[in-house]
Structure 1
Amino acid sequence: MRQSAQGSAETGTPEVWTAAVPRVPQQPAAADVDRERWGPTRAGGGERAGSAERGDDASGATRGEHTHSEPPIPRPRPVQRASVRGQILAALRKALVAGELAPGEVYSAPALGERFGVSATPVREAMQQLALEGAVEVVPNRGFRVIERGTRELAELAEVRALIEVPVVLRLARTVPVERWAQLRPLAEATVRAASSGCRATYAESDRAFHRGLLSLSGNEQLVQVADDLHRRAQWPLVGAPASRGRTALLADAAEHAALLDALIARDLEVVRGLVGEHFTSAP
């Protein structure tokens, strides 16, 4: 999906994908939003024209005062740039997992913005969020470099995840009713379908959704958020590793979800302990 790693002669920035990420729709101007939501009486002089047609007090209308013949009009909501930033952040996260943003490479916000069809500002804001998460680092006057990660960091993340999740799952295995575990079956089946696609980024999303559903039964939202952040970090590709270990590895990981649910429903704590501990070290 990535076009080239040669970069642009004009920007010195590596080329990135085009097909993997849809272009963000252009946001309408504020005046267009007004016209679309309120009709011509909200745009320019149309308000005065509308008042004349209704026979309202012209002087009150031109001053923006409410008259007895019309109710107050609520202010329209402004266009939210945060929604664009959120779309860009999600797309960049997906590109990281898929290996389309290569470890060690530097990417500029203007070049990425051109690819997404947006200005550099939401891209820069999204990249700054990724910097806080440890996915990229700021390179002054150049852009953002994707962090190069090795096997040691991945092993450390697996250890921390196991320290958090294994005791929680074992505790839940003793207390959660069988029917609650059965409700997680659709999430487990979704991971199998995602694994069958062979797309690492698609599988990463469904994998985290299953683990969030599992841990959410604890009722501890802080735990769910911390574990999800660690899980996301563990999904970033390693330096020199292929973008994906392949469909076989993904299917093997997904199969462990179904096996874990079977053990939880059967309340087989030994099998649960073994599956949960193994799951972190074998995750693709």
Structure 2
Amino acid sequence: MTRRKRSAIFRGLLTMVTFGLAASTASVITEPGVASAVPSDVADRYLGTWNYDQPAGDTNVAMINLFGLPVRIPQIGNITFERDGGGVIGRTDQGCTWRFTVLPDRLELASRDQYCFNKVIGSGYNIDTWRVTVDGNGHMQETLHATSYNSGVEFSFGLADGRRTKTGTEDQAETMRRFEGRWTYDHPDPVKLTNILTAPPITQTGSVTFTPGGGGIIVAHTDDGCDWTLHADGNTAVLHPSIQQCGGETKTFWTIAAENGRQSSVMAGTDAGGTPYVLNIGSLTRN
């Protein structure tokens, strides 16, 4: 494989992994006039912040094809749905905003040409299909299809089974128990791209110890002696405040999902030498 093609693979993976979204090839069904006939309170069931459940099997595991190489991408992170006129907007933890039409039994992406330039990864993507349903018990399902555009190369992104749980449904003590303790990065896998830092590609090793910090905050103590703070709700914790510095390193993104002694993470920042990095598929086990 040429260096140029390998570089394109890593750039494409960087874009697709950090969507923070699940995907599939479901088609949008256009129903003219239906949205205006939907009672306004139908949208209420979608409002609020929703975390992806812990990736397992094919649930919350997206598939992309990188130059013939199928790659499984665990999906973590959250989205917040808010009212927007007669529709709903969704704001992801990646800083992107998407507009939806409210139908009697689901949300559908309002148009096929919605685009976001993701400042976390420095690249853009288009979502052409996104369907969201809820079961009334704090659980959400979604299907989505998107295309990343990076250096003239397009990457298609798909996931058949996206599932989320609404935040604020468990007490803080239970949330803290999900995260606290010492966690070690699993053995790096260059084939699956697990625990591989991109730009440049190097392995991620070592451990992180998490302790409660009060008020929903957990403190991550890394091997280099730095402490980083994240806000946790349910199974998901996000860097808070969103930009932090220690020992010359700057973290600009860190989202973690933890469940039953397994942890998935996505991380971005700049190292002490000024080189940007992204950990797309972080995998850790509690000791």
Q: Given the two structures, how large is their TM-score scaled by the length of structure 1? A: 0.25
Between Structure 1 and Structure 2, the one with more helix by share is 1
Pick the structure with more strand per residue: 2
Provide the TM-score with structure 2 as the length reference.
Answer: 0.24
Question: Which of the two has higher C-alpha Rg?
Answer: 1
